[in-house]
Structure 1
Amino acid sequence: MKKHNVRIVGGDYRRTPIPVVDAPGLRPTPDRVRETLYNWLSHFWGADFHDKAVLDLFAGTGALGFEAASRGAAHVQMVESNPHAVAALRALRTKLKADNVRVFPGDALHVLERTANPFDLVLLDPPFNQGWLEKIWPLLPAVLAPDALVYVESEAPVSPPPSLEALREGRAGSVHYQLLKIAAPQDKIMPSAVH
């Protein structure tokens, strides 16, 4: 199989090629979709990533996470279970001298169950047709900062749990993608004061 690259589309590492390793289920997010996502994030965050902690749970090539690092995110935690992909992620992190990136070799659910740090952005681009999102939704609230955003890519329109609501959504070919935020509590209606 011919090796190919994707490229970082913005920030300090713009135009850096990212090698795509041959691994089952690995589907790099297309450049156009990443550009759309980071335009959305720049809108909601005022283009300021410097204090943001990002969790890229199915890092794959690292395209989504390195985009955040390229834009100056304070911390990017990448999680990947494929050893070849992990080696490629670490090699690219070293090449870029991206000290704000950590690469954890392991299982996404294991990390969610054991992570205590809150994240401002969680990137979810799991292998398609394996039921990952249903397993992840119950574990996600524990790792979300109060105003956290969640990006999801899937093979079908995403039905987020009641704890999350859609901010933006799009489609590129067979890929559906959404940016979610923590839903406002439904019990915010204040009772009228009794005098």
Structure 2
Amino acid sequence: MAHRWANKYPKSVLMEAYQIWGGTPVFTVEDGPPPPASPKFTCYLTIPTVHTPNGGFEETRFTAWARSKKAAEHSAAEKSLEFIVSRGLLQAPNNAAVVPGLVGSPGVGDMPLEEVRLLQQRLRILSVQLAAAGHGEAPASSGFALPEDEEAGAVTPVDVDGLSEEQLRQELRQAQEQNASLRQALSREHTRRKAAVDALMSSPARQ
């Protein structure tokens, strides 16, 4: 049975990470044993190059064997996750969700709401600025949004004047990674609170 990373199978964690980094891991499974073992499935996994402000790695290949196709895929994915953790781009699962991107970055609970709003606006401005520079359409937003609060006031615009295309793209990638990290932190907090409410509702009423 494949080990789980933060209650998810390794392949799922790997694919979610690459939704943020960009690129698609390629799994190729073949019948046949690695000699002299009994018949098994062999999985060849290729993970694309990753470059982030915190480091990265070039395209890397992993091989794993198991008695089922799915188990072979998860085993190869687990090897790749261990490799990625060693590069400091993922946190190993210690009864907590794996967060791709900025290891050690503050969680939502540690970040004022105004900073979250500023990050949102920074992501929008960078996307529009990059598109306006004539280098294609604006990159898609991560989909995370906070409700508008009229009392919060306007946030300070991000100064992007004088930045090159590459600098704009790097700033955008950083903002997207932070945005994705915030989304996952908010999702974990929502799950935790829902579990607490469910536990409270299911408790027998006191007489």
Same fold (TM over 0.5): no
Q: Give the TM bin, normalised by the shorter chain.
A: under 0.3
Which of 1 and 2 has greater Rg?
2
Larger strand percent: 1
Q: Under a length normalisation based on structure 2, what TM-score does the superposition of the two structures give?
A: 0.25
